[in-house]
Structure 1
C-alpha cells in the first residue's frame, strides 16, 4: 500500500512553501526550474515499485520500437496513486499563474480554468480523455530522444518531472535535457541532474522570450541523455490528458 506515511495535505504544503517568485523568474529566464524535495526516499521507492503492478497502467511504450530512444515508460490509468494525484493538484494553481502570464505576453487565449478538474473536463470534451501521467524506467544504455508531450489541441504549457532514484548512487548519466530554438539564432541547450525526490518544472512546447519587437515564441524540446550505469526512474506530471 502506497502513501500511508504522510498526513493528508502534506504534499500540498510542500509545494505551497516553494519560493514561487524565484522559481517563476527562473522558468521565465530558462524554460525550466528545479524545486526542493517533494518526496522522501521511501516514497520514491514506493512509486518506482509501482512499475511492476501492470494493472495500474493503461499502456506501456517501448521507446526503441517507436524510435523514441531506448527504455520504457507506462501511462497510469485515471485511478492515480494518492501521491501522484496530490502532487498534480498541488502544482496546478501555481503553474496556472505562469501559464496565464505567458499567454498574455504572446497575445493568446488562456483557456485554463481555476480548477484542474475543470480543465481536464475540457480536455475530455475535446476528445483527450486518456491519462497522461507517466512512470519512466531507464537502464544502462537507455536514453530519450528530444520531444514534446503534446497529445492534441488541448495543451498546458508546463510539466513537472520528479527523480525517483539517486544520481551517482543508483545510476550515472541520464541528465534531463532541454533545447530551446531561439529566434534568428542557434539553439540553446541545458542539462539538469535530478536529485532523488526533487522535481523540475519545465516547458511543454514553447515559451515567450523578449525581443526588440515585443514577445516571440521559443519552441522547446526535452529528453534524457544516455544512462551510463544503473537504473533511472522518474515520475512525469502532465497537466493535459491524451487522445
Structure 2
C-alpha cells in the first residue's frame, strides 16, 4: 500500500452540507443534476462536463449530484459485510491513518463499480492530459480505461484499488493522497452512500491545497447521498502571473459525531 498520510486527525468543522452551504457556492460545484432513473451510463454521459472541467480547474474538485440512486447506494454499502468481494481490509488505527476502516475490492469488480470506472474515465482523460501538458509532465493517458489498466499491470500494478469505507462515531480519515505506484491517474472519485443529517452527523469530506509560499487552504466539499466528488489525487495546475505552477492537494474526512457513513472510492490506477 502506498498511501501518504498525515499523522494528525482533521478538526471537525461542524459543517452540515445539507443546511449551511450558501446556494451560490453549492451550485457552483454542482454543474448538473443527472436523472437518477436513467441508466448509469446515460447519467454519466449527460453530466455537464464543461462545467465539471471548469470547477476542477478552479477548485480542484467538482460535484456530480445524484450520480447514484438511493437503491444503488444501499446495495453498494451492503457489500461491506461480504468478505468474498474484497482482497484486503484496512483498520485505520493500526496504520495511523485515522479511525474507521475500509476494504479494497477484488477482481472482478462489482458491475456498478466497474461501470463507474470505465464510463467516467474517458471524460476525465482530456482534463488529465491537459493538466500534465500545462505542468510540463510528459505522461499522457490513453483514451480507454482498459488500455490504461494494461499499462498499470505491465508495470506490476495489478491489485484493484476501488474501495468501500465505513466510519462510525468519532471515526475520521487523516489527510492523504491515494498513490499506489509509479502510475497515478491524477483524478479520482468518491461517492457518498449515506445521507448527512439522517444517517450520520459530522464526517465532512475535506480537501487541503498547499500553494508555494502560502498557508494551506481548506475546502469542505458539500455532498449528499448519491453525490460523487471528482477531485485531484495529488496535484493540479494553477495559472500564475507568468506561468502555471503546481499545487499539492490532500483529502480526508472529519470526525463523525454520530451514526454510520459509507463511501465508495473509485481510483483509476491499480496498486503494486
TM-score (ref. length: structure 1) = 0.95
Instruction: Say whether residues 1:238 and 2:267 are aligned partners.
Output: yes
Instruction: Say whether residues 1:10 and 2:56 are aligned partners.
Output: no
Match of 2:75 in 1: 46
Q: Is the 8 A contact 1:209 1:215 kept in 2?
A: yes
Instruction: Say whether residues 1:196 and 2:208 are aligned partners.
Output: no
Q: 1:64 aligns with which of 78, 81, 93?
A: 93
- The alpha-carbon deviation at position 212 of structure 1 amounts to 2.0
Q: For 2:90 and 2:157, how far apart are their aligned partners in 1?
A: 18
Q: For 1:55 and 1:179, how far apart are their aligned partners in 2?
A: 35
- The alpha-carbon deviation at position 36 of structure 1 amounts to 2.0
Structure 2: segments with no counterpart, 5+ residues: 1-35
Instruction: Say whether residues 1:119 and 2:148 are aligned partners.
Output: yes
Instruction: Say whether residues 1:213 and 2:242 are aligned partners.
Output: yes
Q: How many residues align?
A: 237
Q: For 1:121 and 1:111, how far apart are their aligned partners in 2?
A: 14
Q: Could you say what the CA RMSD is over the residues aligned between the two structures, in angstroms?
A: 1.3
Structure 1: segments with no counterpart, 5+ residues: 1-5
Match of 2:175 in 1: 146
- The alpha-carbon deviation at position 213 of structure 1 amounts to 2.6
Q: Residue 160 of structure 1: SS of its match in structure 2? A: strand
Q: For 1:115 and 1:82, how far apart are their aligned partners in 2?
A: 17
- The alpha-carbon deviation at position 110 of structure 1 amounts to 3.0
- The alpha-carbon deviation at position 147 of structure 1 amounts to 0.3
Q: For 2:138 and 2:185, how far apart are their aligned partners in 1?
A: 12
TM-score (ref. length: structure 2) = 0.85
Misfit runs of 4+, over 3 Å: none
Q: Is the 8 A contact 2:132 2:140 kept in 1?
A: no
Q: Is the 8 A contact 1:18 1:36 kept in 2?
A: no
Match of 1:20 in 2: 49
Q: 1:136 aligns with which of 149, 158, 165?
A: 165
Q: For 1:219 and 1:100, how far apart are their aligned partners in 2?
A: 17
Shift in CA distance, 110/12, structure 1 to aligned 2, threshold 3 Å: farther
Q: Residue 37 of structure 1: SS of its match in structure 2? A: coil
